[in-house]
Amino acid sequence: MKRAPRSLQHHVLYRKYNGQDSEISALLGKCGSISLDGSTAIGLESHLFLFKGTNQVHQKYFDGGAEAHAKSWESLINLRSQRAASLGSTFLQLIIPEKQSVLTGLYPFEIKSPTPALQEIGRRIGHADSFMDTLHVLREIHQAGLCPFRRVDTHLSFFGASAIVDAYLKRIAPDTVISKPSMLEARMSGDLGRKFFRGRIFEKIQAPVLDTWDFSQISPVCRLVQDPADGHIGIRREWTCHRSILDKSVVVFGNSMFERGGEPFGLSWWFSRIFRETTFVWIPEVDYEVVERKSPDYVVAQTVERFLGFLPSR
């Protein structure tokens, strides 16, 4: 495995341990250092990247069989679209790329991005009405100088979530524009921040000023909270919003990129304000019984790049 010949640029992070904050000028490791559990690598500008984990993320960039994976996903997406249409809904498949597929220049190892599977899917169905190329969307805003991912996390930044939402609105309501908020500097921890230290690591992020942003003042009502006894699969949230941007309804089947709607870094927060009725179910499949019962205008299925080797049953 060849390491890119790059030096680590320092960015201020914060460590919280035993209730105390301490500033650290950079992660205590060189660019290319890997956590003891093998899950996480340190990249440029103190970005942490998921390296292995349960899905062996780094290896995905060198796996074969991309054509077969892409063909299977193409068939599944077409079937999902046809089934949703038969129930009166418009379907869209979102695949959120890995952080290193977008921030390839900050990743400490040499890869060709995206993974062969996502590249082949994009080649086969990139322009289909039932698929949205979020890789292109996130790369575009990164090129414009905004980071679409958080520094010590695998998830989207405010700018990444906002860009995906804007791109989706252009599909379904091209004349609809969400106003831009004022921004402030805040601290936020991340899902990779515990891999190198005891305690949490916080990064400085750009967050919207919610009190003065008219879009955030739209207040959806969460009328269903359903959590499984263990894990995430089966989490469900339902919102009603009488002041929604669109007088439409949506059902979403996805994962932590949507989350439970508490913050504007997850897509559910946005959808619950855009749509009059929003249902989010944390599962990899499309549950057509839910679609039939809710009879939404739109159905969205969302996964992430590292899960493409797992083909949902429906």
Q: What are the residue ranges spanned by the domains of the chain?
A: 68-185+210-305
Query: Which pLDDT belongs to residue 238?
Result: 98
Whether the per-residue pLDDT at 26 is higher than 70: the answer is no
pLDDT band at 18 (very low <50, low <70, confident <90, very high): low
Q: Which residues share a beta bridge with 156?
A: 149
pLDDT band at 272 (very low <50, low <70, confident <90, very high): very high
pTM value? 0.92
Average pLDDT over residues 164-182: 97
Summarize pLDDT for 109-163 with one digit per residue, the tens. 999 999 999 999 999 999 999 999 899 999 999 999 999 999 999 999 999 999 9
Summarize pLDDT for 278-287 with one digit per residue, the tens. 999 999 999 9
Summarize pLDDT for 50-93 with one digit per residue, the tens. 999 889 999 999 999 999 999 999 999 999 999 999 999 999 99
Q: In what order do the strands lie in the sheet with 20-24?
A: 20-24, 13-17, 200-208, 183-189
Query: Which pLDDT belongs to residue 7?
Result: 43
Exposure pattern of 72-108 as b/e (b: 16+ CB <10 Å)? ebbebbbebbebbeeeebbbbbbbbbbbbbbbbebbb
Query: Which pLDDT belongs to residue 134?
Result: 97
Whether the per-residue pLDDT at 197 is higher than 90: the answer is no
Query: Which pLDDT belongs to residue 194?
Result: 80
Alpha-carbon radius of gyration of the chain: 20
Instruction: Report the phi/psi class of residue 71: left, alpha or beta, with left for phi > 0 and alpha for psi in -120 to 50.
Output: alpha
Query: Which pLDDT belongs to residue 8?
Result: 40
Query: Which pLDDT belongs to residue 22?
Result: 52
